[in-house]
Amino acid sequence: MIIKDIKIFVCSPGRNFVTVKIITDSGIYGLGDATLNGREMAVSAYLEEHVAPCLIGRDPQAIEDIWQYLYRGVYWRRGAVTMAAIAAIDMALWDIKGKIAEMPVYQLLGGRSRKGVNLYAHANGSDITDTLNNAQKLIGQGFKALRLQSAVPGLKVTYGVLGDKKDYYEQQGDRPLPPEEDWCTTKYFAMVEDLFKEARKHLGDKVHLLHDVHSRLTPVESARLGKLLEPYNLLFLEDASIAENQDNYKLIRQHTTTPLAIGETYNTIWDCKDLIQNQLIDYIRTAATHAGGITPMRRIADFANMFNVRTAPHGAPDLSPICFSAHLHLNTWAPNFGIQEYVGLGNEQMQQIFLQDIRVEEGMAYVSEQPGLGIDFNEEAAQQYPYKRSYLPVSRLEDGTLWHW
């Protein structure tokens, strides 16, 4: 069997997705997600111009060799664009291998470790009451773990809380330039403890609560926040501080027992090596699409397992359903799986394009039993929703200084 053709699709059913389809001479094909929000066309060009020509004629079953060829072989290692491109190829090859073996991918990884995959849903709100009302609705739908985010009074916009806008694209209107948001740590601290105090009062002790800081705090501020939230028993505090310098987390860890999670922007195991081996975090949140595919996600999971770190893959709306499927296979297998972020199975247009049979019930997702990843891609439907240039926002402090978004 050889790789006969590789097609790259960029469609926008509400938001942009980059999809790779590897077609073999046997007719079997595989699908992968290469979406990099705000930089989609860079990955598409990388795949089209630099990757696809090198893979035509190769054995699609040599997943490991192709991964090494695209990572080690090119000299220019790592980086978000490169790793999203490698990720999509890797996912598509696992999909093909599963179809050849007539087994779902989780079986190829080592088989089932659990009956279903625990999810956490997003409860966002324009104020604390609104957030808690939304949380109650999700609890009513059976969710047992919730990420709580509430707008910060006095700020124009707060990450994770879009008010009446359905996504960041709508926030940009017809002028596709990065929207500008503001940040003030003092105003945030004045809100955040009340959010969790009220949450425990109204939602009780049984529901798991999580919170995303989206890298807005310095390490010492993160340490203070972790301590402040200890009485409310979070499942984890996500992205408290940027960890380009992984040592940042030593300071945070020394001061708090609130569990810590990070990793949604990481491209390789090297980005989290020190965090994991020094047990500075509790959950690693890498995504198959941004960390180079299923092959390295499996390595990260095994490495993390040695240090009592669990996996909690990123599950934002800017990862395609193909990535979510890949995560469900990894999560069904990984002995140290923790929890999966979940924002629904996509809008109506997405459901016409990405065809899948994932079941979500009572806050758990159940992986497809179809051979491969168990997801299909409707090319004609995708063509109806062409690419639209768009950006993630940037963030500034109130004096105008550019801050982490």
List the one residue from 80, 358, 381, 392 that touches ligand CS2 (CB under 6 A).
392
Would you say how long the chain is, in residues?
405
Write down the least CB distance from residue 285 to Mg ion, Å: 7
What is the contact mask toward ligand CS2 in residues 325 to 354, using x (rule: CB under 6 A)? ----------------x-------------
Identified binder of ligand CS2 from the candidate list 21, 211, 214, 327, rule CB under 6 A? 214
H or E element: which one contains 84? helix 80-101
| Residue window 16-45: x/- pattern of binding to ligand CS2, with contact defined by CB under 6 A | ---------------------x--------
Q: Which CB, 214 or 310, lies closer to ligand CS2?
A: 214
Q: Which window, 88-96, 177-185, 314-322, 372-380, contacts ligand CS2 (CB under 6 A)? A: 314-322
Q: Which residues of 34-44 are buried (b: 16+ CB within 10 A; e: fewer)?
A: bbbbbbbebbb
According to DSSP, the residues that pair with 29 across neighbouring strands are: 23
212 or 318: whose CB is closer to Mg ion? Answer: 212
Least gap, CB of 211 to ligand CS2 (angstroms): 10
What CA–CA distances, in Å, run from 239 to 8, 206, 210, 259, 322? 32, 24, 11, 11, 24
Where along the sequence are the contacts to Mg ion (CB under 5 A)? 212
Q: Is 366 a catalytic residue?
A: no
Strand positions, DSSP E, 127-231: 145-150, 180-183, 208-212
At position 158, the amino acid (one-letter code) is T
**Residues 213, 262 contacting (CB under 8 angstroms):** no
Partner touching 271 among Mg ion, ligand CS2, none, CB below 5 to 8 Å by kind: none
> What is the helix (H) or strand (E) element at residue 118, kind and residue range?
strand 117-125
Q: Which residue has the tokens 């997943």?
A: 63
Catalytic residue among 46, 71, 159, 188: 159
Cα gap 293→326, rounded to integer Å: 8
Task: Tell which positions 252-291 bind ligand CS2, by CB under 6 A.
Answer: 264
Least distance in angstroms from the C-beta of 179 to ligand CS2: 13
Given 71, 106, 169, 214, which residue is catalytic? 214
Min dist. Cβ of residue 7 to ligand CS2 (A):
24
Between 381 and 392, CB nearer to ligand CS2:
392
Q: Is 214 a catalytic residue?
A: yes
Q: Is residue 162 at the binding interface for ligand CS2, with CB under 6 A as the rule?
A: no
Beta-carbon contacts of 303 under 8 Å, excluding residues fewer than 6 positions away, are: 269, 273, 276, 277
Task: Classify the C-alpha dihedral 139-360-311-219 as positive or negative.
Answer: negative
Task: Give contact residues for ligand CS2 (rule: CB under 6 A).
Answer: 37, 212, 214, 264, 314, 316, 318, 341, 392
Please identify every residue annotated as catalytic.
159, 214
